[in-house]
Amino acid sequence: QVQLVESGGGLVQAGGSLRLSCAASGRTFSSYGMGWFRQAPGKEREFVAGISWSGGSTYYADSIKGRFTISRDNAKNTVYLQMKSLKPEDTAVYYCAADRWGVGAGRTDFAFWGQGTQVTVSS
């Protein structure tokens, strides 16, 4: 089992940047793939980015490709989402999730979720 706590959200103007962090408890963090998802008001939750257990593979939604970067530090049990050139449509609650199969994207098992952090981008 792993517990996840997101941080780093906030209010930013369009074109600005934020870095989200997701701190994980437990000694098996390095075996999990990790993903970032988001949910905007009135919309379904969507996949944003994922990273494999080793960090060797990363995955991105088309809507954020080239603007967001996912990374992880297994020594710190933390995964990051660097967000640049933010747009108002990026406004959402951002969640991190842990994938027990180690992949970080696709038809896998994101079994553990954090509580989310709000990102608001003003125009």
Three-class HEC string of 36-100: EEEECCCCCCEEEEEECCCCCCEEECCCCCCCEEEEEECCCCEEEEEECCCCHHHCEEEEEEEEC
Res 108: pLDDT: 87
pLDDT tens, 27-57? 789 999 999 999 999 999 999 999 999 999 9
Mean of pLDDT over the chain: 96
- H or E element in which residue 14 lies: none
Say if CB 43 and CB 20 are below 8 A apart: no
pLDDT exceeds 90 at position 5: yes
Whole-number Å distance between alpha carbons of 65 and 48: 9
Kind of pairing between the strands at 46-51 and 58-60: antiparallel
Over range 101-122, report the average pLDDT: 94
